[in-house]
């Protein structure tokens, strides 16, 4: 191959590189069409090993209708004898598999998920931290949960008074015994 | 010489000490009460070759040289006297929060980890929870009137099992850290040998993250792997220098920080244009044994010609396992 041909190929490659450099996204940045855009968010807080299936179904249904993102939020209580910032591996061992299950369930129905975790001295305290730090348009909670599984009626009252978003509290219903857990769907014992 | 022995009234323990020189305790007046404490000046004056000082985490009565017994021990060591001491794992400062979460009981008397780090040798006195409970019921730990209370509180089998696990891990970590420190090469031959030796027995995971919602799934997977391996977990994000985050990315980063904090992982942010180089530096610094990463976005244009990041990491870190985590979010669910 003669020298002029080699030089021409080299120049062509250089030009292609320059064009590609302009066209390709810069390091670490996603292309414009992949970048996150402002979305509606539906907060789905939970406290135990399982959440109400009705609450999950409602969140998915609304998210699909509104092209919204579900924000499942695992609320953890920090015992008084621990600092508020202490790691909570035992609590996380319960909450993380359920976050995975919610994410998988929602994704399989074409709904995006952006999970959160929050901790406080009480579930309400954790929820308050979450509300202060996050933006969401709607919150869905099942009123049928026992204190073991969810927020108390006093917590729900507090939510209605203080949270600057639409609060959807699901009425008790016969199928409230259907829960979503890390192992899939199950009936409440 | 025995500088201080705490038998807790156990006759078997007292019998074992018979025949050994025992330094009498000194009396300390405190608010009208007379308390007994170890005689630090007496130990220093006698200057034995080796001194047994029990209960390293003990808090001294006000009015003596130091507030804590481990500070007394530091004086003894500084005087050239070897010390043989004892402590329970729950007294180690760095484990305090973990023990409180496991047992529900906050231990007030703690020892800085550095004190344990100074020890030439650590011997773990291991006992199965069942054997310890048997000793407790036989009155070999507490007097009869305290046995029931102890069984119902701290001495529950789940507490003892958790404490035993914590102690075993702690000793393993200490031994690992010493082995690595002592393996520092002194000449070129040592360097070759050290390079061939395994670097660490315990695992340490590094998960590569970016501030977007999907990263949390990777973090949760990495945490579960770390739990199974009993390993520490670090999270690393390598942005280019002076990268400005969008509002959405700032929220995702804050959520990652919160998740890391709750899981007990560390989120590291290293600005660099050389992503693979920065990851390799952090992995070497943190003594990482496993790197976990999500699937990269499909390369386009000339980027297709670049060596993929996992391959570059395997070249830069031949001793580190690199695992690309599958996106299981799309796995079908088990609907009834």
Which percentage of chain B shows pLDDT scores above 70? 87
Give the pLDDT confidence score for residue B192 in this predicted structure: 39
Probe site for chain A from B221, B325, B333, B335 (most A CB atoms < 10 A):
B333
Summary mean pLDDT of chain B: 83
Domain at B2-179: CATH code? 3.40.50.300
| Nearest chain A Cα distance for residue B315, angstroms | 21
A4 and B CB contact within 8 Å? no
Residue where the block lists tokens 């901790």 = A119
Nearest one of B205, B221, B210, B296 to B255, comparing CA atoms:
B210
Judge: A87–B213 Cβ closer than 8 Å, yes or no. Answer: no
Higher pLDDT, A144 or B34: B34
| Nearest chain B Cα distance for residue A162, angstroms | 22
| Nearest chain A Cα distance for residue B330, angstroms | 6
The full set of domain ranges for chain B reads 2-179, 204-327
pLDDT-flagged residues of chain A (< 50): 22, 25-38, 145, 188-189
Backbone CA torsion sign across B148, B149, B151, B152: positive
pLDDT tens digits along A160-171: 888 888 888 887
Q: How far apart are CA B106 and CA B122, in angstroms?
A: 24
Q: How far apart are CA B219 and CA B233, in angstroms?
A: 9
Judge: A89–B264 Cβ closer than 8 Å, yes or no. Answer: yes
Where in B245-313 does DSSP place strands (E)?
266-269, 290-294
pLDDT tens digits along B297-315: 666 676 677 788 889 999 9
Quick one: CATH architecture of A38-187?
A: 3-Layer(aba) Sandwich (3.40)
Q: How far apart are CA B121 and CA B50, in angstroms?
A: 14
Judge: B255–A114 Cβ closer than 8 Å, yes or no. Answer: yes
B29 phi and psi, to 5 degrees?
A: -85, 125
ipTM (interface predicted TM): 0.74
Instruction: State the pTM of this model.
Output: 0.58
Give the pLDDT confidence score for residue B245 in this predicted structure: 87
CATH topology of domain B204-327: Rossmann fold (3.40.50)
Nearest one of B6, B16, B11, B17 to B140, comparing CA atoms:
B11
Query: How many other C-beta atoms lie within 10 A of the C-beta of residue A92?
Result: 23
Q: How far apart are CA B256 and CA B268, in angstroms?
A: 11
């Amino acid at each position: 191959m003669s020298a002029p041909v080699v030089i021409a190929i080299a120049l062509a490659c250089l030009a292609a590189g320059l064009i590609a450099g302009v066209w390709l996204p810069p390091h670490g940045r996603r292309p414009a069409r992949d970048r996150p855009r402002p979305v509606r968010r539906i907060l789905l807080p939970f406290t135990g090993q399982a959440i109400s299936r009705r609450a999950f179904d409602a969140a998915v249904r609304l998210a699909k209708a509104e092209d919204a993102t579900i924000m499942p939020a695992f609320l953890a209580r920090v015992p008084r004898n621990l600092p508020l910032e202490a790691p909570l591996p035992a609590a996380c061992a319960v909450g993380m598999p359920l976050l995975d299950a919610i994410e998988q369930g929602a994704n399989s129905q074409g709904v995006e998920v952006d999970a959160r975790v929050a901790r406080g001295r009480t579930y309400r305290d954790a929820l308050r931290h979450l509300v202060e730090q996050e933006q969401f348009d709607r919150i869905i909670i099942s009123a049928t949960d026992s204190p073991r599984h969810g927020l108390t009626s006093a917590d729900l009252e507090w939510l209605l008074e203080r949270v600057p978003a639409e609060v959807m509290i699901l009425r008790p219903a016969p199928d409230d015994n259907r829960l979503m857990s890390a192992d899939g769907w199950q009936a409440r014992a | 010489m025995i500088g201080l022995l705490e038998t807790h009234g156990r006759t078997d323990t007292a019998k074992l000490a018979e025949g050994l020189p025992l330094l009498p305790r000194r009396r300390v007046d405190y608010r009208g009460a007379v308390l007994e404490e170890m005689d630090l000046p007496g130990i220093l004056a006698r200057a034995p070759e080796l001194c047994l000082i029990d209960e390293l985490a003990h808090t001294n009565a006000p009015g003596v040289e130091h507030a804590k017994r481990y500070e007394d021990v530091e004086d003894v060591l500084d005087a050239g006297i070897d010390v043989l001491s004892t402590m329970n794992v729950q007294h180690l400062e760095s484990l305090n929060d973990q023990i409180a979460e496991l047992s529900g009981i906050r231990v007030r008397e703690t020892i800085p980890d550095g004190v344990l780090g100074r020890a030439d040798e650590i011997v773990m006195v291991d006992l199965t929870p069942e054997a310890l409970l048997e000793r407790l019921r036989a009155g070999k730990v507490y007097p009869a009137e305290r046995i029931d209370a102890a069984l119902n509180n701290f001495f529950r089998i789940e507490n003892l099992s958790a404490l035993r696990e914590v102690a075993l891990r702690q000793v393993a970590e200490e031994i690992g850290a010493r082995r690595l420190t002592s393996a520092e090469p002194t000449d070129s031959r040592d360097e070759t040998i050290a390079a061939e030796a395994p670097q660490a027995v315990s695992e340490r995971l590094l998960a590569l993250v970016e501030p977007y919602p999907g990263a949390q799934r990777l973090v949760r997977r990495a945490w579960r792997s770390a739990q199974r391996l009993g390993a520490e977990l670090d999270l690393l994000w390598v942005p280019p220098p002076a990268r400005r985050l969008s509002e959405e990315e700032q929220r995702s980063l804050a959520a990652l920080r919160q998740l890391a904090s709750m899981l007990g992982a560390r989120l590291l942010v290293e600005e660099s244009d050389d992503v693979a180089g920065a990851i390799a530096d952090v992995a070497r610094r943190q003594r990482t044994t496993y790197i976990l990463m999500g699937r990269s976005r499909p390369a386009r244009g000339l980027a297709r010609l670049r060596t993929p990041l996992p391959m570059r990491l395997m070249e830069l870190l031949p001793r580190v396992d690199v695992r690309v985590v599958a996106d299981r979010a799309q796995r079908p669910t088990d609907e009834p």
